[in-house]
Amino acid sequence: MATPDPPVTAPPRATASAPSGPAGHRFPTLFSPLRVGAVELANRIVMTAHVTHYGEDHLISQRHVDYYTERIKGGAGLVITEVQGVHPTSTAGFPEVCFAFPPEAVERNAALAASVHAHGGRVFAQLWHSGMHTDGRLFSHYIQPVGPSSLPCTRYREPPREMEEEDIEEVIEGFAASAANLKAAGIDGAEIHMGHSYLIGQFLSPYYNRRTDRWGGSLDNRLRLALAVLDRIWERVGADWTVGVRISADELVPGGLGLADMQQVCQALVARTRVDFIDCSVGTFNSGAIMVPPMYFPHGVNVHLAAAIRGACPGTPVLAVGRITDPALAEKVLDSGAADLVGMTRALLCDPELPNKARSGRTEEILHCIGCLQACLGRMHDGKAISCLLNPAAGKEREWGPGNLVAAAERRRVVVVGGGPAGMEAARVAAQRGHAVTLLEKQSALGGQVQLIVRQPKREEFGEITRWWPRELERLGVDVRTGREATAEGILALDPQVVIVATGSVPDKTGFSYHECDRPGMPGAELPHVLTAWEVLESPGRAGGRVILVDENGSYEAACTADFLAQRGHKVTVVTRWFRLGVDIPDAVIGLLYTRLAKAGAEVRTTAVVREIAPDHVLIENVFSKSSQTEPCDSVVLVMGKTPCNRLYRELKGRVPALHLIGDAAAPRVMDQAIYEGHKAGRQA
């Protein structure tokens, strides 16, 4: 069935009201209201759409409701739900993908709208079709991905079927039916996803759209789907609703849509239909990490793009995104005229109370997102429900939200041993519940392994951990004692009712591999030029010019220590038994690290192990062919297993009323698990 040309008549566009922020705090513009389409937002802080994997039955879940409501309770003006598909072929690779088109979506979205409204906030839903970026093998009922052209997706590597007229019509109708469902549910508006090279973006972009019919070629033809979708939605929902678009203001791919092209696209959209706001993201599946920029990018990295789009579309509210993690920066972005709204998505994931803290002058209490991506995007890419490295309550609001941290029935004497992330979080939560907490740390400063991580290039933002936690511990009256190693007798002398052992781990220097349990270690590991990553980070001068770094655990520790050495001029060769360096690091981030390493002249040998170490070389063996070769070197850096430091736990067992073993001291793992266990122990104390 042919799709009619989009009508050019559309309901009039709402205009932004002038900033009129309340006096009495440092962020008058940030906390000023703004009219967007048919709704008034209480302030300019937005949690933008991001995939959570919280869906149930492919619908918005109670977990979503709790998660978004927590951010509204914390003071955000608007939340935009994660993508809600408009057609069964819109799934990307998200096993819990939510759909907005089924009738049951109304009830689930209604629960969300009611909860958000009850706390004075607004909620939009993001409507989306993933197009060519669809994993057709995601479910046992295989899906046939569709797209404007038959180019394969870079992530899922499947070529889609080129869409025919009736496919396009079905998708347009899917957007309209989904928008009608959202409106019926009481959701305040919709954001139509036209960016990140999803379906509408694919049609817009000459990079993805290779069609020669009326849907491809000229700008008018490439705009046809976007306009048809918006017009059909307006026909269906009427003028008293709000609909905006999310765009990639620069696709950052050669032959794709640059900023000037997107200015033209946006101008055409606002001139030819009604667009209530423009959310300016950036990048495509082919542009690397910039879509969700990690700590390797500066704060506010995309603000200039929002400013350019705002300049091209005067009168249409524009939303800026990209590492806006602090209210002072957000205020500056708004005051500079770059944008009308700020997306503070990961900032709110990390600290849902950021707006209320900023508004009440408690900025020092804000826990800032550090851009690590470890528990948010990293987990999302693994198909796991997202959380936050620094805030383990994220995604567990019903059980662990700030309002659920109840005072302990009885004030107990709690001793926490170990001032790394796990111990500090245990002490903080226990103190917040009203316990009398003593924290013992053998080093002169708190932070544990964080003290080393911040030395790695571009990882200094981990210093938020050694800023925020000690300050919170002080604020909560925790008795912090540093610089002396705890003993069992010393702990017992404090007469504790609860002891939490968070004494961490130490790197194993034997070269033992759990993949080769038949040998006790790596021959030559005892030689003086063999170091651990910790030793190198503590004393970089100990590493020689040519370094072999062994990545056995696939972690940031190996990749970022290799980066540390390479940037300091060492000739680094990484040897890993896996198919790539840093197998536990999301693709986007490891791509950045590979780029940094390659530019610094480092080399990565995959599917290889160091068989033995000699004073001036190592023997490297391929894990499949078993062929080997020698490689000269001056130093060897092992990033292999770690040994838990749990002696105190064993000595105290049975001698105190309650004893917990958490974090690396229980089993050396990643930091999000350590902080999670610290939080849990603090609640259990």
Residue 253 to residue 285: CA distance in whole angstroms: 10
Give the number of residues in contact with ligand SF4, rule: CB under 6 A: 14
Q: 386 to each of 63, 98, 429, 436, 635, how far by Cα in Å?
A: 11, 15, 21, 33, 39
Q: Is 39 near ligand SF4 (CB under 6 A)? A: no
Beta bridge partners of 550: 575, 638
Q: Is 180 near ligand SF4 (CB under 6 A)? A: no
Q: Which residue lies nearer to ligand SF4 by CB, 464 or 621? A: 464
Q: Which residue lies nearer to ligand SF4 by CB, 100 or 375? A: 375
Number of neighbouring beta carbons within 10 Å of residue 383: 12
Residues 289, 290, 294: CA angle, nearest 5 degrees: 70
**Rule CB under 6 A: which of 454-473 touch ligand SF4?**
none
Residue 223 to residue 265: CA distance in whole angstroms: 7
Residue 66 beta carbon to ligand SF4: minimum distance, rounded to whole angstroms: 17
Residue 437 beta carbon to ligand SF4: minimum distance, rounded to whole angstroms: 24
Q: Which residue lies nearer to ligand SF4 by CB, 372 or 429? A: 372
Phi-psi region of 322 (alpha: psi -120 to 50; beta: other; left: phi over 0): left
Beta bridge partners of 397: none
Residue 318 beta carbon to ligand SF4: minimum distance, rounded to whole angstroms: 24
Q: Is 346 near ligand SF4 (CB under 6 A)? A: yes
Sole window of 307-315, 364-372, 407-415, 424-432 interacting with ligand SF4 (rule: CB under 6 A): 364-372
Give Cα 660 to chain centroid, integer Å: 30
Q: Which residue lies nearer to ligand SF4 by CB, 269 or 350? A: 350
Write out the two tokens for 544: 């020689």
Q: Which residue lies nearer to ligand SF4 by CB, 350 or 488? A: 350
Beta bridge partners of 343: 46
Burial state string for 513-537 with b = 16 or more CB within 10 A and e = fewer than 16: beeeeeeebbebbeeebbbbbbbbb
Residue 376 beta carbon to ligand SF4: minimum distance, rounded to whole angstroms: 3
Torsion of CA 588, 592, 594, 599, to 10 degrees: 160
Residue 480 beta carbon to ligand SF4: minimum distance, rounded to whole angstroms: 23
Q: Which residue lies nearer to ligand SF4 by CB, 98 or 349? A: 349
Residue 36 to residue 41: CA distance in whole angstroms: 7
Write out the two tokens for 484: 């002396």
Q: Which residue lies nearer to ligand SF4 by CB, 100 or 386? A: 386
CA neighbor of 595 nearest in space, from 487, 458, 421, 399: 458
Q: Is 350 near ligand SF4 (CB under 6 A)? A: yes
**Rule CB under 6 A: which of 478-537 touch ligand SF4?**
none
Q: Which residue lies nearer to ligand SF4 by CB, 80 or 501? A: 80
Residue 551 beta carbon to ligand SF4: minimum distance, rounded to whole angstroms: 22
Sole window of 194-202, 297-305, 344-352, 521-529 interacting with ligand SF4 (rule: CB under 6 A): 344-352
Q: Which residue lies nearer to ligand SF4 by CB, 80 or 257? A: 80
Residue 640 to residue 663: CA distance in whole angstroms: 18
CA neighbor of 184 nearest in space, from 142, 137, 230, 125: 125
Residue 13 beta carbon to ligand SF4: minimum distance, rounded to whole angstroms: 34
Number of neighbouring beta carbons within 10 Å of residue 631: 17
Q: Is 132 near ligand SF4 (CB under 6 A)? A: no
Write out the two tokens for 504: 């961490």
Residue 348 beta carbon to ligand SF4: minimum distance, rounded to whole angstroms: 9
Q: Which residue lies nearer to ligand SF4 by CB, 369 or 581? A: 369
Residue 629 beta carbon to ligand SF4: minimum distance, rounded to whole angstroms: 39
Residue 298 beta carbon to ligand SF4: minimum distance, rounded to whole angstroms: 15
Q: Is 198 a catalytic residue?
A: yes
Residue 636's SS3 state is strand
Beta bridge partners of 45: 342
As a whole number of Å, the CA-based R_g of the chain is: 27
Residue 388's SS3 state is coil
Residue 134's SS3 state is coil
Q: Is 349 near ligand SF4 (CB under 6 A)? A: yes
Task: Please report where in the chains the tokens 């849907």 appear, as a residue.
Answer: 215
Angle, helix 671-684 to helix 421-432, in steps of 10 degrees: 30
Sole window of 27-35, 346-354, 405-413, 593-601 interacting with ligand SF4 (rule: CB under 6 A): 346-354
CA neighbor of 501 nearest in space, from 389, 644, 643: 644
Number of neighbouring beta carbons within 10 Å of residue 424: 32
Residue 104 to residue 481: CA distance in whole angstroms: 56
Q: 366 to each of 74, 346, 360, 392, 633, how far by Cα in Å?
A: 12, 13, 11, 15, 46
Residue 404 beta carbon to ligand SF4: minimum distance, rounded to whole angstroms: 20
Q: Which residue lies nearer to ligand SF4 by CB, 145 or 678? A: 678
Given 198, 296, 556, 649, which residue is catalytic?
A: 198
Q: Which residue lies nearer to ligand SF4 by CB, 108 or 346? A: 346
- Convert residues 366-405 into a mask of x (bound to ligand SF4 by CB under 6 A) and - (unbound): ---xxxxxxxx-----------xxx---------------
Cβ atoms 281, 195 nearer than 8 A: yes
Residue 218 to residue 205: CA distance in whole angstroms: 10
Sole window of 41-49, 241-249, 345-353, 427-435 interacting with ligand SF4 (rule: CB under 6 A): 345-353
Residue 331 beta carbon to ligand SF4: minimum distance, rounded to whole angstroms: 20
Residue 440's SS3 state is strand
Cβ atoms 491, 657 nearer than 8 A: no
Residue 461 beta carbon to ligand SF4: minimum distance, rounded to whole angstroms: 9
Q: Which residue lies nearer to ligand SF4 by CB, 175 or 462? A: 462
Residue 492 to residue 565: CA distance in whole angstroms: 43
Task: Please report where in the chains the tokens 């002072």 appear, as a residue.
Answer: 328
Residues 538, 539, 544: CA angle, nearest 5 degrees: 135
Cβ atoms 395, 385 nearer than 8 A: yes
Task: Please report where in the chains the tokens 């093998």 appear, as a residue.
Answer: 137
Sole window of 365-373, 620-628, 637-645, 654-662 interacting with ligand SF4 (rule: CB under 6 A): 365-373
Interface residues with ligand SF4 (CB under 6 A) are 346, 349-350, 369-376, 388-390
| Catalytic positions | 198
